[in-house]
Structure 1
Amino acid sequence: MRARSALFDLYGDHLRARGSQAPVAALVRLLAPVGIAAPAVRTAISRMVIQGWLEPVALPEGRGYRASEQATRRLDEARERIYRRREEPWDGHWHLVLLTPPGDRSARVRLRADLAYLGYAELSDAVWIGPVASPELAGVLVRAGASARTAHARDVDPPPVEAWDLPALRASYDGWPGVARDLVARHLAAPGDPDRAAFAARFHLVHEWRKFLFADPGLPAEVLPPDWPRAAAARHFAVEADRLKPAADRFVAGCLPGAADCRP
């Protein structure tokens, strides 16, 4: 697990409901149970400030960092997708993005990753398609130095589902319950503070499930096979995440300002 991803998970899953901010010392304490060392945390914070995801803030306990407006939008959207309990209705329209990519190669690589995260796939050269129009698209294009024309298409025949690797995605969903059970059991068997173990177990559970945000475009049921395994995998994730949450919340509360019993 990389420190940057771990910080996104921490702010999105634990700090969003606690003001979206924390002192540096608390961030270090909270990421220690998941194997992120203090120097890596501090380096990742510095880079996320430069990238506009975090903002320095003066707190009574010392220097801290708050999620930026840009980060808050991304975290809220990600949280909605992570904990989505039901499928949203689809209006039958595909969203087309006719892209003029940036000249810089690294910007193009980042743009491709961002478009995939938003649910788009490259249908042909510089033509991307998604099941819905993402409200984040304009910001992603601006940050990359790119531009695009967009359009909605209803009668796409055949449906462009081959633009995504659905066989690989199905295999990942089918294997998810076993992955989740092994991950949680390994953490909960560790000696020591059970709340700390539950926090680490839930943190890694959410982190692994979050990877589906980058792989699954959220295609509507109308264009997927009737036995598509996403719903069953999501139910398994929700049950385990809910079961671990009370103990994980106790550990987080103990590591934030005003508590003296956090054990990194």
Structure 2
Amino acid sequence: MPQGSDVADVAPMPRHQHLIVTVYGLYARNQGGTFAVADLIRLLGELGMESAGVRSAVSRLKKRGVLVSVKRGGAAAYKLSPELEDVFTAGDERIFSPRRAKKDDGWLLASFSVPEARRHLRHKLRTILTRVGCGQVSPGLWIAPGALANEVELQVRRAGLMSYVDLFRATHLTESQINEKVGQWWDLPSLEALYTDFLVRHEPVLQRWLQRAGEDDDSPALLRQAFADYIPMVTAWRRLPYMDPGLPEDYLPERWHGLAAQQLFTQLHELLGPCAHEYAMSIVGASQPVAS
């Protein structure tokens, strides 16, 4: 466990847009994908965001096609883009139920060739493969644990780039070299640094809540604090399972902090998630329009 006793309890607040996406991903689907603007401002106010900042971030998300404006009960509201529903659903499994591959699971190979006239698509394709957790064997050949096959195909198809890509199931035949090769295909030191940062910043949050264990307290103040701790934690975490391909433990460096970080996230999710959900629903659920 990295040393971090001199680091502040509270991590720097993630960008407003990232927090909003987290809140929508966690709670909006219980509300038909929609939040009234007033409710969203109140929720994000618990995270230190001012009304103007919320509106500005929502406007940027609307321009990006993440949110669409609607009316709910006659009030202004924003809804998740229907085109992103499958992305959020797939994200639930990747973020909250990650799977670490076994040595005998095999590999996925993604081979692509893009004509020179459309070379701008190469960067787009490489970005997609990187974000889903693939490693680069060579410029036109990428690799991932076999368990990521469906997700890789989904993301490439969503981008309309499947005509440039061939996907293969594969077995690596030179097992004695695999640990060295994995270190070439993925930037594990950079990923390790991100996991270390997550541990340093959020381990004190867990310790603070564990000290409250046994307290008979389900007050609004406790629920509000759980929400305020949970949302930034999930926001900081949710990109990491995408950057981490879920390599078998046998292929990871010794004392890999990703394993401890996953355990910490799971503990905080189980400890704070229900209280944060109850608080969020007390805000957004209370303002649902009554059916006629």
TM-score normalised per structure 1: 0.78
**Aligned mates of 1:46, 1:175 — CA distance in 2:** 30
Aligned-partner SS, 1:52: coil
**Does structure 1 retain, via aligned residues, the 8 Å contact 2:101–2:246?**
no
1:248 matched to 2:276: yes
**Aligned mates of 2:74, 2:123 — CA distance in 1:** 39
Counterpart for residue 8 of structure 1: 21
CA spacing shift, 1:242–1:108, aligned 2, 3 Å: same
Shift of 1:11: 1.4
1:151 matched to 2:164: no
Question: Paired residue for 1:167, among 181, 186, 189?
Answer: 189
1:136 matched to 2:154: yes
Aligned 1:1-264 pairs, distance under 5 A: 1-60=14-73, 62-84=75-97, 86-87=99-100, 91-100=105-114, 111-131=125-145, 132-133=148-149, 134-142=152-160, 148-152=164-168, 153-155=170-172, 157=174, 158-159=177-178, 160-161=181-182, 162-174=184-196, 176-183=198-205, 193-221=221-249, 223-224=251-252, 228-258=256-286
**Does structure 1 retain, via aligned residues, the 8 Å contact 2:99–2:246?**
no
Shift of 1:67: 1.7
Shift of 1:111: 4.9
Aligned-partner SS, 1:136: helix
Look up the equivalent residue of 2:272 and give its one-letter code: L
Unaligned stretches of 5+ residues in structure 2: 1-13, 211-219
**Does structure 1 retain, via aligned residues, the 8 Å contact 2:27–2:280?**
yes
**Aligned mates of 1:81, 1:39 — CA distance in 2:** 32
**Aligned mates of 1:258, 1:193 — CA distance in 2:** 18
Look up the equivalent residue of 1:154 and give its one-letter code: T
**Does structure 2 retain, via aligned residues, the 8 Å contact 1:99–1:127?**
no
**Does structure 2 retain, via aligned residues, the 8 Å contact 1:96–1:129?**
yes
Look up the equivalent residue of 2:16 and give its one-letter code: A
Query: What is the number of equivalent residue pairs in this alignment?
Result: 255
**Aligned mates of 1:155, 1:111 — CA distance in 2:** 24
**Aligned mates of 1:5, 1:23 — CA distance in 2:** 18
Q: Percent identity?
A: 28
**Aligned mates of 1:110, 1:3 — CA distance in 2:** 25
Look up the equivalent residue of 2:26 and give its one-letter code: D
**Does structure 2 retain, via aligned residues, the 8 Å contact 1:199–1:247?**
yes
Look up the equivalent residue of 1:148 and give its one-letter code: Y
- How well do the aligned residues superpose, as a CA RMSD in angstroms? 3.5
Shift of 1:66: 2.0
**Does structure 2 retain, via aligned residues, the 8 Å contact 1:97–1:150?**
yes
Look up the equivalent residue of 1:240 and give its one-letter code: L
CA spacing shift, 1:127–1:40, aligned 2, 3 Å: farther
**Aligned mates of 2:173, 2:36 — CA distance in 1:** 50
Shift of 1:225: 5.0
Shift of 1:233: 2.4
TM-score normalised per structure 2: 0.72
CA spacing shift, 1:150–1:212, aligned 2, 3 Å: same
**Aligned mates of 1:20, 1:86 — CA distance in 2:** 27
**Aligned mates of 1:2, 1:197 — CA distance in 2:** 19
Larger Rg over CA atoms: 2
Counterpart for residue 8 of structure 2: none
Unaligned stretches of 5+ residues in structure 1: none
Q: Judge which range, 111-120 or 81-90, deviates more.
A: 81-90
CA spacing shift, 1:95–1:16, aligned 2, 3 Å: farther
**Aligned mates of 1:104, 1:26 — CA distance in 2:** 44
Relative contact order higher in (CA < 8 Å, ≥ 6 apart): 2
